[in-house]
Structure 1
Amino acid sequence: MHRRAAALAVPLTAITLAVSSCGNIPEEWRTPAFLRMGEEQLDSRIPTVTGPVGEEPEITFPDVKPPDEELSGIVSEGSGEDELVRADDLLIANVVQYQWTGPGEGEPVEGQSSYETGAPDLIRMEQMPEQISDVLVNQPVGSRAVYVFPPLTEEERNQAEQSGQPAPEGASVLVIDLMNRYNKGSVVPGEQTTDGGDGLPTVTQEGHSAPNIEVPDTDPPEELEVVPLIEGSGDKVEKGQQVIVQYTGVRWEADENGDHKAFDSTWSRGGEPFDTTIGAGAVIEGWDKGIVGQPVGSRLLLVVPGSMAYGENEEEAMGAPAGTLVFVIDVLGAYDNPPPAEPEEGAEGAEGEGAEGGGSAEEQADAPEEGGGNEE
């Protein structure tokens, strides 16, 4: 489904900065000194964080020097046990990073607040270090977690400087607000109001499972066809947003056995939701034009002509599926990307693909693998 491995600009997240800065934490420090809400008090050295979850937090640093061990805890617990975070979830979170520089002193790290950018972080729990993920598992959506990572050692500072990375003073502090979660097997709510048909493929899908797509033995349409099988009630997807989807793709043309087997599907990967930037050339044109403008919560049948997919002869040339393609897509969510970074004065390459928008680190890492592993 990817048209190419797009070189989208990926902003450094607060999580990446903190974990990379503390990658050499001694083993004896790796047991978080945290106590969950409702059991006992948090470690008194954890900064006090106030304000509603979902809004820029206010933080007060204790009047002690930054600790030389890792601390973490849940400082505000969300409501609703039906929305507990699982170890293999895709999370939507607002993340803010601070530097705790001395007793009672600290400051936000410039450019490392998703509240400032208006774009939340996408966190794949399975890719997070344990010191991040362990605190979040079994916490309800709407919770707020705080992490304190100790100051860098002299050796770590030297390593950072030699690699060209900044070596911050003091301890790193993260505040993570859990805003939403998508689990493996997520689908949009509601019942299909149509199964397609009338010259187009017929789609049936039972619960949390891959759709069954029956392609008619006729010539495919020449134009892009977009049929809402379930019409969502959320906001309409906007160009440049990150969308989170479940999908299955088959060719219109049957194989030598007369079958239309899926050439790519999130369901073949355990129903793990896929995220990508939409409307910016990161995926095939049929997706960009077919998904933008559709309400979140929709299940879409897309029939994409070869000219808006990989072309008519791509299978022989590059291994991509050729000709007209059929997709069934559940649009689970859509979130703003951070604005592209302003180029430094005199910097080259400020325009072009790198300025097309944001996108997750996972998207870039997985892009050559998605959609049959094809690049253009």
Structure 2
Amino acid sequence: MRRRLAALLIVPALLLTACGGEDTDKKDDASSSPEAARTEVPKPVDSASPMPQVTGDKGKKAVITVPKGDPGKSFVVHTVTPGTGAEVKKDDLVVANFTGKIWKGGKDLGSSYDQGGTPQVITAGSKTVIPAFAEGVTGQKVGSRVLVVAPPAAAFGAAGKQEIGVSGTDTLVFALDIESVIPKKAEGKQAEIPADLPQIDAEKNEPATIKIPKNDPPAKLVDDVLIEGKGPEVKSGQTVYMQYTGAAWKINEGKDKAKNFDSSWNTGAPFTTAIGQGQVIEGWDKGLVGKKVGSRVLLVIPPAQAYKDQDKGPELPANSTLVFVVDILAAM
């Protein structure tokens, strides 16, 4: 699956998920190392020697002090400050801030609290996320600050993550602040869709089924709310977390089931982007700003607000009208 949606993607300080906006045709991205290492991941323990120290106020970038000497081999998940919220269960979508370091040399791996940074959405227990995060949040309570010491098998495996300076022998140290658990998709009864617009079935936790009618697409942007959420309105400049599925109108017209060219459901994690800032195609910026968190939105985007005359391959020919079903999970 390729992230064709965005003309310009925000590159996070630390790429932790298996896809994270990159082309999964590449064999050296994070998609290979977490799953390859998963069979070797040791069971997490609460403590080991030596242990890093985490200080600093909750809600701000953590201060991680790495002890002198070499790390042990244990995979440590230690609750520094327990939260009082709900317990995170396997497969929950967890919003968490992070601060990270490489043990050897104490190199800073960045923090979601840094300027321009955003929290990570982590699928608890998922094989598409490095074990340091997937296991680091599982079983914790919302509001907790957690110290994770991740040997290579619990991080990026023997391949490392060379583009951020992580070798295949590096032990990583993280402080995770667990902020919330968000729904996996929009919840509620879906509104009836006019017959001349695509029909949507998005009730399962998988790519939506899109059926495109046998008529010409609308000339103007359609941004119909199929399920109205109860959250705040999305504002321009916010980072939005969403599940989506997309198809091209003409090449799927009249078929019982469109061939989707892309879906966040295939990555194991929601798609994250700044909205209203030109980070994604114009139809997304115009169609999603002002919608409420928790909503499901049908977007039908004319070529002028999509990829215009750019040929993006057999599933996305030039001058395509695009159809998306988007579930807005959170906005920050």
Alignment of 1:47-196 (within 5 A): 47=52, 49=54, 53-57=58-62, 65=68, 68-70=71-73, 72-75=76-79, 76-79=81-84, 83-86=88-91, 91-97=94-100, 112-117=110-115, 119-123=118-122, 125-131=126-132, 133-148=134-149, 173-181=173-181, 186-192=184-190, 194-196=191-193
1:14 CA displacement: 9.8
SS in structure 1 of the partner of residue 324 of structure 2: strand
1:143 CA displacement: 2.9
1:300 CA displacement: 0.3
SS in structure 2 of the partner of residue 253 of structure 1: helix
Q: For residues 256 and 129 of structure 1, do their structure 2 counterparts lie closer, same or farther at Cα, with a shift above 3 Å needed?
A: closer
Q: For residues 5 and 110 of structure 1, do their structure 2 counterparts lie closer, same or farther at Cα, with a shift above 3 Å needed?
A: same
The letter of the residue matching 1:34 is V
Q: For residues 226 and 5 of structure 1, do their structure 2 counterparts lie closer, same or farther at Cα, with a shift above 3 Å needed?
A: closer
Distance in 1 (CA, whole Å) between partners of 2:100 and 2:164 is 20
The number of aligned residues is 294
Residue of 280, 290, 293 corresponding to 1:283: 280
1:228 CA displacement: 0.9
1:223 CA displacement: 0.8
8 Å CA contact 2:234–2:293 kept in 1: the answer is yes
The letter of the residue matching 1:309 is A
Q: Are 1:46 and 2:86 matched, yes or no?
A: no
The letter of the residue matching 2:186 is V
SS in structure 1 of the partner of residue 113 of structure 2: helix
1:177 CA displacement: 1.3
The letter of the residue matching 2:291 is Q
C-alpha root-mean-square deviation of aligned residues, in Å? 4.7
Residue of 174, 197, 200 corresponding to 2:197: 200
8 Å CA contact 1:299–1:331 kept in 2: the answer is yes
8 Å CA contact 2:293–2:328 kept in 1: the answer is yes
Which fold has the larger relative contact order, with Cα–Cα distance below 8 Å and residues 6 or more apart in sequence?
A: 1
Alignment of 1:203-242 (within 5 A): 203-208=200-205, 210-242=207-239
Give the match for residue 253 of structure 1.
Answer: 250
Give the match for residue 153 of structure 1.
Answer: none
Q: Spell out, residue by residue over 1:112-162, the C-alpha distance to the aligned partner (whole angstroms, 9 max, x if none).
A: 343353632345653544455444333344332213479xxxxxxxxxxxx
TM-score with structure 1 length normalisation? Answer: 0.59
Give the match for residue 303 of structure 2.
Answer: 306
8 Å CA contact 1:215–1:252 kept in 2: the answer is yes
Q: Spell out, residue by residue over 1:50-95, the C-alpha distance to the aligned partner (whole angstroms, 9 max, x if none).
A: 677545557788xx85564256232234456663244xx6643211
Distance in 2 (CA, whole Å) between partners of 1:5 and 1:80 is 35
Distance in 2 (CA, whole Å) between partners of 1:252 and 1:9 is 27
The letter of the residue matching 1:115 is Y
SS in structure 2 of the partner of residue 262 of structure 1: coil
Q: For residues 141 and 216 of structure 1, do their structure 2 counterparts lie closer, same or farther at Cα, with a shift above 3 Å needed?
A: same
1:257 CA displacement: 6.6
Alignment of 1:12-31 (within 5 A): 12-13=13-14, 31=42
1:234 CA displacement: 2.3
* Unmatched runs of 5 consecutive residues or more in structure 1: 24-29, 36-41, 102-106, 151-162, 336-376
TM-score with structure 2 length normalisation? Answer: 0.65
The letter of the residue matching 2:266 is R
Q: For residues 115 and 319 of structure 1, do their structure 2 counterparts lie closer, same or farther at Cα, with a shift above 3 Å needed?
A: closer
8 Å CA contact 1:14–1:112 kept in 2: the answer is no
Distance in 2 (CA, whole Å) between partners of 1:146 and 1:166 is 19
Give the match for residue 38 of structure 1.
Answer: none
Distance in 2 (CA, whole Å) between partners of 1:128 and 1:164 is 16
Distance in 2 (CA, whole Å) between partners of 1:220 and 1:166 is 48
Q: Are 1:293 and 2:290 matched, yes or no?
A: yes
8 Å CA contact 1:78–1:142 kept in 2: the answer is yes
Distance in 2 (CA, whole Å) between partners of 1:272 and 1:234 is 21
The letter of the residue matching 1:144 is R
Q: Spell out, residue by residue over 1:229-250, the C-alpha distance to the aligned partner (whole angstroms, 9 max, x if none).
A: 1122223333344332222223
Distance in 2 (CA, whole Å) between partners of 1:173 and 1:313 is 43
The letter of the residue matching 2:180 is N
The letter of the residue matching 2:97 is N
**Greater fraction helix:** 1
